[in-house]
């Protein structure tokens, strides 16, 4: 891709997302709601594919990992026991000069309200002392709006897993070590949301909590680091854009004994896309104490009861989706083309929202009928689209921008079609009856 600045690249991705129906600003017709986004037709497909890939990698590929779908609203005591009421805080500073409000530990990621080319650190503004700001959204349950009716929108899905630990273990007859995987919405009243869907106040997490015997936690954390990195690589992300970052003592969350982030190099720098934590017995221990319910496990070998340790893998679905878009976005200048560079999303076929587009060369001579027959076969297997409007070149470009890996063109040569591959643009003529089998090689 010809060199573009990092902010230009993000602007191009945001514009593509809107233009092609990946992502829209929430409440757009009312002027938009800051940091909230809606997934359009292509975005919803891409997101579903990512979720499916994660669930398969967790539950289908591991006999000892079970799925769960717990509620967003939970007993408020859960958030006291988990430490979130006291500790889920970020340091907040106000700028007396521009009246902006910023996260004190992330000033380099924000922009000054008066001097947009500067960060709050470098703009010369006068700051207040940092104070703690709790990130949990509060609401009321029932008709009374008083303190006794306060409930929280969950800031992570993990707690729903911990409080169901015994339910899942006993009903699925699992034994330690085993895991529980869940995908669901989480809410954080972030001080400085931004960078499109990178940091929002409502987002979706994919979390797997793995329960192990104390003493096996460190080895399990190492094992899960490798498994999770491989998942990101299997999505097609470039290896040189991924790395681990180990949390130093000051970075560790209140529940963590050790933590690693998987980071990706975004146009705005290296940032976390997934967190892996050794949460020790912090969570089950605290819930056991606060609820007075026994959450220990009996060890047949030692004939004693212990509280399992937890290895957590937690990845933001929206953040991974942004990562796949950033990683896949490309522009290619083509010789003799006066339409400008070809924009192509080089998404892995496994996660591409639409797997193939079927293009009758003309709207006559029986070509649409042959194309419709191919559509009917493909539709049984994958999400595919039909496109008969505009020149064939324009139609290829539309498909390239949407990340559609294959374009099947039906022309006058009866019994055969051409298949064009998105990245190489190479075309191959194959038998019309062989299209499903041909694509299956690449898609499954």
Give contact residues for ligand ATP (rule: CB under 6 A).
156, 188, 190, 199-200, 203, 205, 272-275, 314-316, 318-319
Among 279, 277, 295, residue whose Cα is nearest residue 287: 295
CB of 200 to ligand ATP, least distance (A): 5
**CA angle 273-279-281, nearest 5°?**
160
Q: Which is nearer to ligand ATP, 120 or 316 (CB)?
A: 316
Q: Which is nearer to ligand ATP, 125 or 316 (CB)?
A: 316
Helix H segments across 82-132?
A: 84-87
For residues 409 and 370, what is the distance between their CA atoms, to the nearest angstrom? 10
Q: Which is nearer to ligand ATP, 199 or 287 (CB)?
A: 199
CB of 274 to ligand ATP, least distance (A): 5
The conformational region for residue 141 under phi > 0 = left, psi -120 to 50 = alpha, else beta, is: beta
For residues 388 and 357, what is the distance between their CA atoms, to the nearest angstrom? 10
**CA angle 164-169-172, nearest 5°?**
115
CB of 47 to ligand ATP, least distance (A): 13
CB of 103 to ligand ATP, least distance (A): 9
Q: Which is nearer to ligand ATP, 237 or 378 (CB)?
A: 237
Q: Which is nearer to ligand ATP, 323 or 385 (CB)?
A: 323
Q: Which is nearer to ligand ATP, 25 or 205 (CB)?
A: 205
Q: Is the dihedral of CA 163, 168, 170, 174 positive or negative?
A: negative
- Residues, the chain, total? 444
For residues 354 and 214, what is the distance between their CA atoms, to the nearest angstrom? 45
Residue nearest to ligand ATP (CB): 316
**DSSP string across 22-51:** SEEETTGGGT--TT-EEE-HHHHHHHHHHH
Q: How far apart are the first and last CA of the chain?
A: 29
Q: Which is nearer to ligand ATP, 276 or 344 (CB)?
A: 276
CB of 221 to ligand ATP, least distance (A): 14
For residues 418 and 276, what is the distance between their CA atoms, to the nearest angstrom? 45
CB of 17 to ligand ATP, least distance (A): 16
For residues 266 and 247, what is the distance between their CA atoms, to the nearest angstrom? 19
For residues 88 and 156, what is the distance between their CA atoms, to the nearest angstrom? 11
Helix H segments across 268-391?
A: 282-291, 317-328, 367-379
CB of 344 to ligand ATP, least distance (A): 26
Cis? peptide before 177, omega within 30° of 0: yes
Q: Which is nearer to ligand ATP, 190 or 220 (CB)?
A: 190
Helix H segments across 210-344?
A: 217-234, 282-291, 317-328
CB of 119 to ligand ATP, least distance (A): 17
Q: Which is nearer to ligand ATP, 315 or 357 (CB)?
A: 315
Among 71, 122, 106, residue whose Cα is nearest residue 114: 122
- Are the beta carbons of 432 and 415 closer than 8 angstroms? yes
CB of 277 to ligand ATP, least distance (A): 7
Q: Which is nearer to ligand ATP, 140 or 270 (CB)?
A: 270
CB of 141 to ligand ATP, least distance (A): 24
- Are the beta carbons of 104 and 91 closer than 8 angstroms? yes
User: Which stretch of DSSP H or E encloses residue 266?
Assistant: strand 258-266
CB of 7 to ligand ATP, least distance (A): 20
Q: Which is nearer to ligand ATP, 203 or 329 (CB)?
A: 203
252 secondary structure, DSSP code: -
């Amino acid at each position: 891709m010809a060199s573009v600045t990092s902010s230009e690249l993000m602007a191009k991705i945001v514009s593509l997302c809107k233009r092609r129906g990946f992502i829209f600003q929430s409440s757009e017709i009312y002027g938009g709601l800051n940091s909230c986004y809606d997934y359009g037709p292509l975005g919803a497909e891409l997101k579903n594919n990512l979720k499916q890939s994660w669930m398969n990698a967790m539950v289908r590929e591991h006999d000892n990992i079970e799925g769960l779908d717990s509620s967003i609203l939970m007993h408020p005591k859960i958030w006291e026991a988990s430490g979130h009421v006291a500790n889920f805080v970020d340091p907040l500073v106000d700028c007396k000069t521009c009246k902006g409000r910023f996260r004190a530990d992330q000033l380099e990621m924000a922009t000054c309200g008066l001097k947009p080319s500067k960060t709050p650190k470098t703009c010369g503004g006068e700051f207040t002392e940092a104070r703690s700001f709790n990130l949990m959204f509060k609401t009321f349950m029932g008709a009374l709006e008083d303190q006794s009716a306060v409930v929280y929108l969950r800031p992570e899905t993990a707690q729903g897993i911990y409080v169901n630990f015994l339910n899942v273990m006993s009903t699925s007859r699992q034994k330690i070590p085993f895991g529980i995987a869940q995908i669901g919405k989480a809410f954080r009243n972030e001080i400085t949301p931004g960078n499109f869907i990178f940091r929002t106040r409502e987002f979706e997490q994919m979390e797997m909590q793995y329960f192990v015997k104390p003493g096996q936690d460190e080895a399990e954390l190492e094992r899960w680091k490798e498994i999770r990195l491989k998942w990101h690589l299997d999505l097609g992300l470039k290896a040189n854009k991924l790395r681990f970052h180990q949390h130093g003592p000051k970075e560790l969350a209140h529940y963590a004994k050790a933590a690693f982030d998987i980071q990706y190099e975004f146009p705005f720098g290296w940032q976390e896309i997934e967190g892996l934590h050794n949460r020790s017995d912090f969570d089950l221990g605290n819930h056991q104490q606060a609820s007075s319910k026994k959450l220990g496990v009996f060890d047949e070998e030692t004939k004693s009861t212990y509280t399992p340790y937890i290895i957590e893998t937690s990845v933001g679905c929206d953040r991974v989706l942004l990562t796949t878009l950033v990683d896949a976005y490309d522009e290619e200048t083509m010789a003799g083309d006066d339409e400008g560079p070809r924009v192509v999303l080089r998404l892995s076929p496994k996660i591409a929202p639409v797997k193939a587009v079927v293009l009758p060369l003309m709207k006559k001579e029986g070509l649409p009928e042959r194309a419709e027959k191919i559509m009917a076969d493909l539709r049984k297997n994958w999400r595919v689209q039909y496109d008969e409007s505009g020149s064939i070149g324009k139609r290829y470009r539309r498909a390239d921008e949407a990340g559609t890996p294959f374009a099947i063109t039906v022309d006058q040569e009866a019994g055969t079609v051409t298949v064009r591959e998105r990245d190489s643009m190479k075309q191959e003529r194959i038998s019309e009856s062989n299209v499903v089998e041909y694509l299956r090689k690449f898609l499954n």
